[in-house]
Structure 1
Amino acid sequence: MNRRDFIAAAATMAVPVTLNGFDLRAFTQNSALVRSVAQAGAANSDRILVMVYLNGGNDGLNTVIPLEYYPAYNQLRSNIAIPEKSVLPLAGSPETGLHPAMTGLQQLYAEGKLGIVHSVSYPNPNFSHVRSSDIWMTGVDSDQYNSSGWAGRYLNNRFPGYPEEYPNSEMEDPLAIQIGYVGSTSLLGNKQSMGISLVSPDEFYQLVGQESFVPASDLPCCDSGDLIRAIRQQQVLAIEYSSEIRKAASLGKNLATYPGDENELAQQLKIVARLIQGGLKTKIYYVEMGGFDTHSAQVTNSSTTEGVHAVLLRNLSSAISAFQKDLQMSNLEDRVMGMTFSDFGRRASSNASKGTDHGIAAPMFLFGTGLKRQIVGTNPDLANDLVPPSSAGQNNQDLKMQVDFRRIYQDVLTDWFGTQQTKSDELLFKNFKTTSIFSGLVQTIGSGKWQDRSIWSTGRPPGPKDSVQINKGHTVLLGNNVSVKNVHVSSGGELEFTGNYSISTTN
């Protein structure tokens, strides 16, 4: 970890980072103490992101089920709706439940290691698999295009000089690894992919070999010479990385029991855990599972709790659960954060083929011990959060977006990886407001009534356990009694009481 990232990451931790009893946050970046600590390196405690792509567009409404709106839910999709009694309840969140196949994620939620972000999408959504997945992976507006991925740009910024100056003594391992043959757009940097793709460590080593390649000194000029040079550079990278990957795979050992070979995602995450345990310093891992384009036969004729979608969700849940258990048993879970994403959601209304068609919003899962809150946003109100609204009397209805997916990316960059806010704005091409999923502080992101979910970073009004901050330029109107942990009104912010109401604080 370089000095800037060490300081930035330390500053975001809830527990002070100390050395010999001194809080590192009390020292400036130019402090000799901080410089010496940063130069010593903190690779073994550096943070890792695992991206899980659900290829095809997951049906979010049968994944995270809004129990508080169950009658409307059942009416919208009566031929595929999960029976209310079969929905898995979430500890402390009785209004929300999971598909009955997701017992592993239900347990992670109870342990505080699973977060749910409701109704995630982007403005002016596109319903093409190719285009929408490209938007998610590049992190651009739906009317914009870019040849680099959001994660690739982050790695480009964090590791300047790649690939020419890598591997080196500071970073001898691949920056990113995708388990699979086809590289993800998410990992594309400004010039090339910032990661490598492999199916297994041993196969990659056997494919690449171990002989160092000595390039000729008399390369031809111009484009042909540049092309040969680039090919040789990739060959050298592959050879050197294959040795490091194989070494990590031999040192790592899976301590948890994973589902069998029929669960491809579990086998991918098993490799990831093994490489992390083996000491590989790779920052981002990318895995995926397909099959989520469930236009028909999403459920069986005999039971809506079984079928194609149930198998997918069972595999997803059991794979993530085993992976998290593996990290826990290896004392590594505090270093790793995972998140799921998909092309798009699916419509609130089911179709006549016992399936769902391409839609707008769907939930995202985040998993790991670094979460500071477990719910962002609210259950979609199946009367008022539909497009068109239920009052229009149309059957082909969709779910409105509550949270732009790039707000999650922003939080991953700034709060998880420790990137400076101005730099993350640059990497995502604009400023996106925090969701506070890695923070104990609920902030305003606009003005309005206290009970208006859209003015709060968490997408829901603050509760008794929340610390609240009203930011500069925002006015919040309080029209009822509320209870929170504490409230801070920043200079230039306003809190106005519209009647004889009060705020009780628990701290």
Structure 2
Amino acid sequence: MKRRSFIKNVAAGVALPSLLGGFGVRLHATAPLGRLMSALDADNDRALVLIQLDGGNDGLATLSPLDQYDRLKKARPNIALPENRLLPLTGLSTLAMHPAFIGMRNLYEEGQVRIVQNAGYPNPNLSHFRATDIWMSASHADEFIGSGWAGRYLAYEYPNFPIGYPNANMPHPLAVEIGYSMSLSLMGPQTGMGFVIPDTQSYYQLLAGEQAPAPNTPAGEQLAYVRLIAQQSRVFAQAILDASKKATNQATYPDTPLAAKLKIIARLIAGGLKSRFYLASIGGFDTHAQQADTSDPTKGAHAQLLQQLGDAVWAFCQDIQALGVADRVAGMTFSEFGRRVASNFSDGTDHGEAAPLFLFGTPVAGGVTGSNPKLPLNPTLNDNLPMEVDFRSVYATVLRDWFCVPEADVPSILMHQHPFVNGLFRPGMACLTSSVREDHWEAGRSLLTCRPNPFREAVVLDYESTGGPTVVQILDASGRIVATPVSGWQAQGRYQITWDGSALPAGVYFCRLVSGQAQQTRTLQKH
């Protein structure tokens, strides 16, 4: 690649993956370094930190139902936790935590943890990959949705992204994920909505201005040049740097991978980054074998995982409190499924159904939602914990009560109507004003509008062609094209057509414009 050609492509706004030491940026480059990037001002935009417990967390070991301890002991004679070693919870005589989960228990005692018991969904799938997709997309078990619930919310809040981004209204990444690739959670209807940091080492290399060495060949020299230009041209990477420089006096964290990720997230939030979602994960929860030490069930693989999780979250909450940003940060754990009621013959537990999830942080209303799971009198290896709270109802409540999405708009984001779960957040928290949300909606460059929305029959599509082949498509929730109102060559300019959608069944659809290198998608609701 010639240097002149590369610079031309960057200036034209071509979507390019960042190559600085594997630092993954799933976005369109829209401006040279420094444009629109004034000093990062402190902002009160709310952020949600999602922690994925990869593998399927065992809820009955995490939270033991004391009112059914005899049945639990019968179901798990080899790995049941001793009742006298469990951590009591103030005000709860029938529920106790794993002794290694002391960090989360301490937060609970401070009123900063909401336990949601028996979270799941109807007809659960027990495949890791499929179940993870369901939790990340908020789909039904029998449908496939190619976008994530968080990504669709971000597309709702910032509908013109990525065209015209970054901008004065939103100069920062919409979301940040620390992981080797962008998860489905952050995929929007047309593009990834986040900024990916592959690992903690990549982050600190970025701060130090370092990059992985390139091979000493002509191709290596070219790669080094591409990396350098990519690093210099990514204004979102610059936002990460600027935020990091503003918050350096942090609390002490445990020396674990999850804690290292949460430390970075706390630093970015305290530094003024306006990103709405932060994602981190901790693996190892697929505990089919040696889940616990049979000579002392309070120790073992699962105990180590819970200690890492609890201690990391505790340190994170202490840190953001000291940094003065705790009021604008909430967190939530999720896992693709739980484990079976009975232990297996390998001193572990197999894939199960429902399990608890945890919301944490100062804005969270401490306590418990849901009841203790009901254990069978004579448990077998096939017994599961039934769902009590649909996890998508938790998402709906997060959107309404934390991100201030009007109730009427939540179904179009989650693709379905779900009841809300009251009491997850503290009452009386101020929400976004309508003028702030309108600023978000108007930020960037709008190439496509669809009205009325919701619609019943005719829809007026107002769009801009950049010149050349232009397509406007209507897609259903699964991504299947159900109509193509526009397809052909068009001169540059604004156009308006009326499309008849009366034949489509009620539901959520996407209207997508593709014109040259520009793409933009709008969500449509058919009544």
Superposition TM-score, scaled by structure 2 size: 0.67
Which of 405, 411, 424 matches 2:410?
A: 424
Alpha-carbon contact 1:54-1:341 (below 8 Å) kept? yes
Equivalent residue number for residue 328 of structure 2: 335
| In structure 1, distance between residues paired with 2:273 and 2:353 | 37
Measured after TM superposition, the shift of residue 45 of structure 1 is 1.4
Equivalent residue number for residue 95 of structure 2: 96
Number of residue equivalences? 370
Letter in 2 for 1:372: A
Runs of at least 5 residues in structure 2 that lack an aligned partner in the other structure: 1-39, 213-225, 428-527
Change (3 A) 1:339 1:254: farther
Which of 368, 380, 383 matches 1:397?
A: 383
Change (3 A) 1:411 1:207: farther
Alpha-carbon contact 2:342-2:380 (below 8 Å) kept? no
Measured after TM superposition, the shift of residue 396 of structure 1 is 2.3
Measured after TM superposition, the shift of residue 438 of structure 1 is 3.2
Matches within 5 A, 1:188-267: 188-198=187-197, 199-200=199-200, 201-204=203-206, 206=209, 239-260=234-255, 263-267=256-260
Alpha-carbon contact 1:177-1:195 (below 8 Å) kept? yes
Measured after TM superposition, the shift of residue 394 of structure 1 is 3.9
| In structure 2, distance between residues paired with 1:237 and 1:164 | 20
Q: Which shifted more, 423-432 or 107-116?
A: 423-432
Change (3 A) 1:76 1:99: same
Runs of 4+ in 1 over 4 A off after TM superposition: 204-209, 234-238
Equivalent residue number for residue 292 of structure 1: 285
Which of 259, 263, 266 matches 1:273?
A: 266
| In structure 2, distance between residues paired with 1:103 and 1:309 | 14
Q: Which shifted more, 150-159 or 370-379?
A: 370-379
| In structure 2, distance between residues paired with 1:295 and 1:130 | 17
Letter in 1 for 2:205: E
| In structure 2, distance between residues paired with 1:236 and 1:266 | 26
Matches within 5 A, 1:335-414: 335-383=328-376, 390=377, 394-414=380-400
Change (3 A) 1:237 1:154: farther
| Structure 1 residue 302 corresponds to structure 2 residue 288 | no
Report the 3-state secondary structure (helix = DSSP H, G, I; strand = E; otherwise coil) of the residue aligned with 1:315.
Answer: helix
Report the 3-state secondary structure (helix = DSSP H, G, I; strand = E; otherwise coil) of the residue aligned with 1:398.
Answer: coil
Q: Which shifted more, 197-206 or 305-314?
A: 197-206
Equivalent residue number for residue 38 of structure 1: none
| In structure 1, distance between residues paired with 2:182 and 2:332 | 18
| In structure 1, distance between residues paired with 2:287 and 2:103 | 22
Alpha-carbon contact 1:254-1:273 (below 8 Å) kept? no
Letter in 2 for 1:86: R
Alpha-carbon contact 2:59-2:356 (below 8 Å) kept? yes
Measured after TM superposition, the shift of residue 180 of structure 1 is 1.7
Q: Percent identity?
A: 44
Change (3 A) 1:243 1:424: same
Letter in 1 for 2:156: N
Larger relative contact order (Cα-Cα within 8 Å, sequence gap ≥ 6): 2
| In structure 1, distance between residues paired with 2:232 and 2:286 | 36
Measured after TM superposition, the shift of residue 372 of structure 1 is 2.6
| Structure 1 residue 111 corresponds to structure 2 residue 110 | yes
| In structure 2, distance between residues paired with 1:42 and 1:235 | 25
| Structure 1 residue 147 corresponds to structure 2 residue 146 | yes
- 1:158-202, CA deviations, whole angstroms, 9 ceiling, x for partnerless residues? 011111110000000000000121211100011111001112434
Letter in 2 for 1:404: D
| In structure 2, distance between residues paired with 1:414 and 1:375 | 19
Equivalent residue number for residue 505 of structure 1: none
Measured after TM superposition, the shift of residue 203 of structure 1 is 3.2
Query: What value does the CA root-mean-square deviation take over the aligned residues?
Result: 2.3
Report the 3-state secondary structure (helix = DSSP H, G, I; strand = E; otherwise coil) of the residue aligned with 1:419.
Answer: coil
- 1:186-245, CA deviations, whole angstroms, 9 ceiling, x for partnerless residues? 000111110011124343465799xxxxxxxxxxxxxxxxxxxxx99x969971111110
Letter in 1 for 2:389: V
Report the 3-state secondary structure (helix = DSSP H, G, I; strand = E; otherwise coil) of the residue aligned with 2:164.
Answer: coil
Measured after TM superposition, the shift of residue 437 of structure 1 is 2.9
Alpha-carbon contact 2:402-2:425 (below 8 Å) kept? no
Runs of at least 5 residues in structure 1 that lack an aligned partner in the other structure: 1-40, 210-230, 384-389, 442-507
| In structure 2, distance between residues paired with 1:154 and 1:208 | 33
Measured after TM superposition, the shift of residue 250 of structure 1 is 1.3
Letter in 2 for 1:349: A
Letter in 2 for 1:429: M
| In structure 2, distance between residues paired with 1:100 and 1:237 | 48
| In structure 2, distance between residues paired with 1:252 and 1:338 | 20
Measured after TM superposition, the shift of residue 248 of structure 1 is 0.7
| In structure 1, distance between residues paired with 2:355 and 2:345 | 21
Equivalent residue number for residue 326 of structure 1: 319
| In structure 2, distance between residues paired with 1:437 and 1:78 | 36
Letter in 1 for 2:355: A
| In structure 1, distance between residues paired with 2:102 and 2:59 | 16
Report the 3-state secondary structure (helix = DSSP H, G, I; strand = E; otherwise coil) of the residue aligned with 1:203.
Answer: helix
Equivalent residue number for residue 83 of structure 1: 82
Q: Which shifted more, 364-373 or 341-350?
A: 364-373
- 1:35-60, CA deviations, whole angstroms, 9 ceiling, x for partnerless residues? xxxxxx99611110000000000011
- 1:345-404, CA deviations, whole angstroms, 9 ceiling, x for partnerless residues? 000111010000000000001001112342100111213xxxxxx46x644211010011
Alpha-carbon contact 1:202-1:246 (below 8 Å) kept? no
Letter in 2 for 1:59: D
Letter in 1 for 2:404: G
